[in-house]
Structure 1
Amino acid sequence: MPATKRPSEGTTPQAKKPHPFFVAGAKTQLGTFQPSPPTLIHFTHLDPFAPQPVASTSTASSSTSNKIAISFYDLDGTLIKPRLGGPFPKSRDDWMWWNPVVPERLKKEWEEGRHLVVISNQGDSREKVRNEWKLKLPLIAAKMPSGVPLRVLAALSMSDVYRKPNIGMFETISKVYRDQGLEIDMERSVFVGDAAGRMANGPQRRDHGDTDYKFALNTGLKFVTPEEHFLGHPRPSFPEPPNGFRPAKVGNLGSLPHIVPSHTPIARPETEIVLFVGPPASGKSSFFRKHFAPNEYEHVNQDLLGTRYKCLRVAEGLLREGKAVVIDNTNRNRDTRAHWINLASKLKVPVRVFHFLCPLELAKHNNMYRACYAPPNEPPRTLLPLLAFTSYAAAFEPPSANEGFDEVRGVNFHFEGGEEQRRKWDMYMLEQKR
């Protein structure tokens, strides 16, 4: 395949004419933006599924195999970098290959039968910046080696299933291949990214994060840095495994008793108030659905009703009808809980506490999991802001029987779900900034 002549990629800025792809009446823009959700960009240049000539030295799978090896790449800092030398690009034209060897390496991989897919986080919410970035993709396509397809996925939201290290973009790609009757060859595929969690070392700047490494771990892809992949450098030093929370770091949660003490019934055949205490995303609503809803307890929740006053009014009406109620709020301190103790005293009904002993870091992890990966048979949940957890922790007072409760029981968090759900729950999640 003849080499493609490329413009100079020096760092000295030159006066730019409008790119011919964007001049009225000129050549049609390269590439296609595929239909995708609002928080995901899906761009393709050429068709990777079209028949291709394979080099005689190809390591591609045989024609009868349904497995395809994919080289997954981060974009900024891996395939390209700002041409003008700044930390961030200033326009669609402010880019160059990360290293001059990049396009030839991409060409070689394609000729060996590998597909090329970019997985990128792009989070700037300003419409002008997003549009400039989208217009950069046809320019990158124009500099790809002749005949070499490229697929680009980019996450736009700062906090959804598509943003690395969450695996929504990988699941999207997996479906694209399944729809073609193919599957990704995980043994031979690789993810190349610069966000490995490296510290500064001489000319090497500190990595802006470790989301690329965590994404690779979450998906099961082999991970290498651009220096390893393109330049043959030895593996650099970075935390392996990466810093960050995974449920396994809490210890063996499954070995803890689910309820302490466990010798008395969870539900009772009498009119009563059951008060839940615990941080958001600690399993309270799931516990209600499993243990109390089948026993005809009524569910009272401030997120649904709006105010504590309305919760008290609704609960009192239900109790006067002889119905037991579960107060499914955080009920973080003595002052908050006193309202329910007073109501129980007024109506002369028992009041019990179930204290959810979920560590705060696990609760934050659960918050991201249930917003992004909760199975379809569970109610959809929105992602709560980080403030919901920090404010709970700042005001928390552990419940005690001397407040006036008839019983106080602890509930340790136990994950409930199938094997696939558990695999996702055990991944590194996107860490919220606010």
Structure 2
Amino acid sequence: MPRKCYLTCLLNSHPPIPLPHNIETVIGRSKLTKIKDQSCSRNQLSIKADCENCSVELKQLGLNPSGFDGFSMTKDAVYKVGHNTRIEVLLNNHVHLLKFDPPPVDHSKAEGKRKLEDMEPEQSSRKSIKMEGDSKPCDVKAAPESAWENVDSGELYIYTAKGVKSSEKIAAFDMDGTLITPKSGKVYPVDISDWKIAFPTVAQKLKEQIELGFKVIILSNQAPIGSGRVKIEDFKKKIENIVRKLDVPIQAYIATGKGFYRKPTTGMWRVLSEEKNDGLVIDMEKSFYCGDAAGRTANWAPGKKKDHSMADKLMAENLGLTFYTPEEFFLGHKLSDVLMKKPDFHPKQYTPEPFDQRLISSEKEILVLVGFPGSGKSFIAREIIKKSDNRYVSVCRDELGSWQKCASTATKFIQQGKSVIVDSTNPDKESRARWTALAHELGVGSRCAKMAASLAHARHNNKYRELRKEKHLPVSDIVFHSYKNKFVEPSTKEGFKEVLTVKFTGTFENEDAEKMYKLHLLEK
């Protein structure tokens, strides 16, 4: 029987399109493909099948890019592909499969064992995996009714749709930009009705996960609820409508504040694993997370803007979960050629530094600290006081309120025979010159200790203090960047006897505190 070739729509929205041997077929926006998208040309893609060798030549004719197997095509370039290639008539949209009948010999066995839409090797293999201790579906009852729960006075809301079943396998998804996108075309939705399903394959893919024994959940940051810009009752309706549209039993976790529930921190997952999974232990190797906040740089695909953050990818790293972007999971794209930003500070690589004994002088002095908020100045000041048997004292503008009060207090301490630590940011020559002048006036020496912690490290420390509810006021990004813009490298030319560079030194009150510190805490 002569071999034939077809272009099959992944969503079965139209019958397979025959591709005759060695004859060019041009497809695009038409009644044949059911594509109505004006971005798609009527003559978008040229396809020429070689049925004898099971190969197909593709050529993009339209102005907007087409794609195949996760690659963006270039206009008028010719690409040779084969059986089971995923074709995107428009990049990320209108997904089809190239099929030969009968298939090539190498695919014969696989073709008899799986459906056309079951294209993920990892997922198909999961069907046959049976781990020791796995729960049987009948062991866990489905949620009898849909219900909402409120955790920590509205810091977290949980929606469990009717039919949700707990499982040791979790398929977790971000919501905005992953499952849905604003139908208005704007970056952010204009109201609770401004949404549409992000990709044509979303509902089908989620249903596949249910069939494979996964529990499907949503993990979403929604700060506008916490700030009062969006009413929770309105947002609940939005979630219910999304779940109804997808027609899949989903459990949704909605973080409304800035605390430990908000991604990339792992509070939502902790509630899931400890309280909302019927006691089943989650298999982290089988489970995965999919989200669009992956730190992809601008033009990671033609015309695509950079990702708004890295929160999704970093949360997956915090948990040790396999991570997918939406395009990778729902459309089969590959990430090998996609540039992704990496965090500037890696908390897991941090190891505490020993105390620098050079910070303590045998002579009376004014020691001026320099560094970002959160760079460890106050901790170092306390350590110096303790290790010097209280020969040093600290003055801090945040506590005393003005430079004049700090100078007056420092003068009294110097006159009492103490050395003084200036615990302030002191980014520029002007702020430091006041202290070298005062030291000269009082007849004592002055040194400078510059904290080595970077901006990213200091911001991490600030977020850690905020999450631990320590007695520090949160520091805004404006303050951090103000320091960065004012900063001038200190030198002995300013009148200091010595300028030391001090690595960050920190200790943890317990194991939980250290574990939190070593998580990615920042979204960007």
TM-score by length of 1: 0.72
Pairs within 5 Å for 1:212-251:
212-235=312-335, 237-239=337-339, 242-247=341-346
2:174 maps to 1:74 = yes
* Whole-angstrom distance in 1 between the partners of 2:313 and 2:211: 27
1:127 maps to 228
- Among all aligned residue pairs of Structure 1 and Structure 2, give the percentage whose two residues are the same amino acid: 32
**Would the alpha carbon gap of residues 174 and 348 (structure 1) be closer, same or farther in structure 2, given more than 3 Å must change?**
farther
- Whether the aligned pair in 2 keeps the contact of 1:74 and 1:118 (CA below 8 Å) is yes
Answer whether contact 1:153 1:169 (CA < 8 A) is retained: yes
Tell me which residue corresponds to 1:410: 501
Give 2:472's match in structure 1, choosing from 381, 384, 395: 381
Q: Residue 332 of structure 1 contacts residue 396 of structure 1 at CA under 8 Å; is this kept in 2?
A: yes
Residue 319 of structure 1, CA deviation = 3.0
Q: 1:302 and 1:234 mapped to 2: Cα distance?
A: 52
Check whether the contact 1:199–1:207 (CA below 8 A) recurs between aligned residues: yes
Aligned with 1:35 (options 133, 151, 158): 151
Q: Structure 1 residues 35, 47: CA separation in 2 closer, same or farther (over 3 Å shift)?
A: farther
- Indicate how the Cα distance of structure 1 residues 277 and 88 shifts in structure 2: closer, same or farther if over 3 A, else same: closer
Q: Would you say how many aligned residue pairs link Structure 1 and Structure 2?
A: 376
Instruction: Give structure 1 stretches of 5+ with no counterpart.
Output: 1-9, 13-28, 51-59, 61-67
Deviates more, 1:385-394 or 1:71-80: 385-394
Task: Confirm or deny: 8 A CA contact 2:397 2:403 kept in the other structure.
Answer: yes
Structure 1 residue 344 corresponds to structure 2 residue 439: yes
Cα deviation for residue 222 of structure 1 reads 0.6
> Is residue 347–residue 520 contact of structure 2 (8 Å, CA) maintained in 1?
no
The answer as to whether partners of 2:347 and 2:517 remain within 8 angstroms in 1 is: no
**Residues 153-197 of structure 1: CA deviation (Å, up to 9, x unaligned):** 23335x55444334343344344358x544332101100123331
Deviations 1:298-318 (A, max 9, x none): 221111111111111222233
CA distance in 2, matches of 1:30, 1:94: 23
Give the C-alpha shift of residue 34 in structure 1.
Answer: 1.9
2-side partners of 1:160 and 1:11: how far apart? 44
Q: In the alignment, what sits opposite 2:268?
A: 169
Alpha-carbon distance in 2 for matches of 1:77, 1:156? 18
Superposition pairs for residues 98-137 of structure 1, below 5 Å? 98-99=198-199, 101-124=201-224, 127=228, 129-131=230-232, 132-137=234-239
Q: Secondary structure at the match of 1:117?
A: strand
Structure-to-structure mapping, 1:38-77, within 5 angstroms? 38-46=154-162, 48=164, 68-77=168-177
Is the counterpart of residue 139 in structure 1 residue 241 in structure 2? yes
Match of 2:395 in 1: 300
Counterparts of 1:396 and 1:202, CA distance in 2: 37
Q: Please point out which of 272, 285, 288 is paired with 2:378.
A: 285
> Given the alignment, which residue of 191, 199, 218 partners 2:289?
191
* SS across alignment from 2:193: coil
1:205 deviates by 3.6
Deviation digits for residues 248-272 of structure 1 (CA, Å, limit 9, x no counterpart): 89xx88699864xx6x5x3356654
CA 1:353/1:198 → structure 2, altered by over 3 Å: closer, same or farther? closer
Point out the more displaced range, 215-224 or 185-194.
Answer: 215-224
Q: Which structure has more RCO (C-alpha within 8 Å, separation ≥ 6)?
A: 1
Seen in structure 2, the aligned counterparts of structure 1 residues 36 and 239 have a Cα distance that, compared at 3 Å, is farther
* Partner secondary structure for residue 364 of structure 1: helix
Name the Cα RMSD after superposition. Answer: 3.8
The answer as to whether partners of 1:11 and 1:85 remain within 8 angstroms in 2 is no
CA distance in 2, matches of 1:386, 1:216: 25
* 1:78 Cα deviation after fit: 2.0
Distance 1:82 1:306 in 2: 47
Rate the CA distance shift 1:117–1:352 in 2: closer, same or farther, 3 A: same
Which structure has the bigger radius of gyration? 2
- 1:75 Cα deviation from its structure 2 partner: 0.7
Amino acid at match of 2:236: K
The Cα shift of 1:104 comes to 4.5
User: Does the 8 Å CA contact 2:352/2:504 hold for their aligned counterparts?
Assistant: no
Encode CA deviations 1:218-268: one digit per residue, 9 max, x unaligned: 32111112343334454574235x33312489xx88699864xx6x5x335
Q: Report the TM-score, using the length of structure 2 for normalisation.
A: 0.61
Instruction: Please give the residue correspondences for 1:356-395 in structure 2 after superposition, counting only pairs within 5 Å.
Output: 356-372=451-467, 374=468, 379-395=470-486
Question: Deviation at 1:429?
Answer: 4.2
Once the two structures are TM-superposed, the CA of residue 32 in structure 1 deviates from its matched residue by: 0.9
Say which SS state the counterpart of residue 34 (structure 1) adopts: strand
Of 329, 344, 352, 2:424 maps to: 329
> Which residue is equivalent to 2:58?
none
Instruction: List per-residue Cα deviations over 1:270-316 (Å, max 9, x = no partner).
Output: 65432212222221111122232352232211111111111112222
**Secondary structure of 2:224's aligned partner:** coil
Give the distance between the partners of 2:506 and 2:463, measured in 1 at CA. Answer: 14
Q: CA deviation at 1:405?
A: 3.4
Higher strand share: 2
Whether the 8 Å contact between 2:345 and 2:456 is mirrored in structure 1 is no
